[in-house]
């Protein structure tokens, strides 16, 4: 499937409410659960999505669209949420994510991107030359990947509880 602004936006619009339906009001036994040391809880994931809204997707798209002399992206901090979520409730994070996403989608829509703009390039600090189209497709896939992660982390809390059904539930296996 090729990236299409309309179809991609359909996913991006839904992610905050998907996260809210999955997590809002759930006991911490679910929302603070992880897959083991150095893995992320649903709470951590929501903080990570917030940091992406603030520093990754739209800021990088702006660098590409500006087509200035330096089109190199600022490296993304994958661990910022451990600092920035501190003291915030999950509910606050879910609200903040929804607010930032709404603002960023308004910016995206305002650009009315055409194919020529989607082909414009920037420079990823590690991956090299990338197009705006690839960046926006990654925004979408990244959302979906973290929905996968949140559901998987929670499913695996019942790895032992399901007993012999373990054999049938592929979500339990790495």
- Token pair of 53, please? 């809204």
Given the rule CB under 8 A, which residues bind a copy of itself? 1-3, 7, 10-11, 14, 17-18, 20-22, 25-27, 29-30, 33, 124, 127-128, 130-131, 133-134, 137-138, 140-142, 144-145, 147-148, 151-152, 154-155, 157-158, 161-165, 167-172
Our CB check for a copy of itself shows the closer of 86 and 168 to be 168
- Token pair of 110, please? 């305002």
51 to 3, 11, 15, 45, 86: CA distances (angstroms): 23, 18, 15, 10, 13
Minimum CB separation of residue 162 from a copy of itself in Å reads 4
Our CB check for a copy of itself shows the closer of 82 and 165 to be 165
Our CB check for a copy of itself shows the closer of 85 and 149 to be 149
Helix axes of 57-66 and 42-55: crossing angle, nearest 10 degrees: 20
Our CB check for a copy of itself shows the closer of 86 and 126 to be 126
Report d(CA 55, CA 51) in Å as an integer.
6
């Amino acid at each position: 499937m090729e990236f299409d602004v309309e179809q991609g936006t359909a996913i991006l619009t839904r992610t905050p409410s998907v996260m809210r339906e999955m997590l809002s009001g759930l006991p911490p036994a679910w929302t603070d659960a992880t897959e083991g040391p150095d893995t992320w809880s649903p709470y951590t994931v929501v903080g990570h999505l917030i940091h992406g809204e603030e520093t990754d997707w739209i800021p990088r798209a702006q660098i590409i669209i500006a087509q200035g002399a330096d089109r190199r992206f600022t490296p993304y901090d994958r661990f910022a949420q451990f600092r920035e979520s501190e003291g915030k409730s999950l509910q606050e994070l879910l609200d903040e994510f929804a607010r930032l996403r709404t603002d960023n989608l308004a910016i995206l829509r305002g650009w009315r991107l055409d194919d020529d703009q989607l082909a414009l390039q920037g420079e990823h600090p590690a991956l090299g030359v990338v197009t705006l189209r690839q960046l926006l497709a990654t925004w979408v896939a990244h959302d979906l990947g973290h929905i996968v992660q949140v559901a998987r982390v929670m499913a695996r809390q019942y790895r032992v509880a399901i007993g012999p059904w373990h054999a049938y539930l592929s979500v339990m296996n790495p």
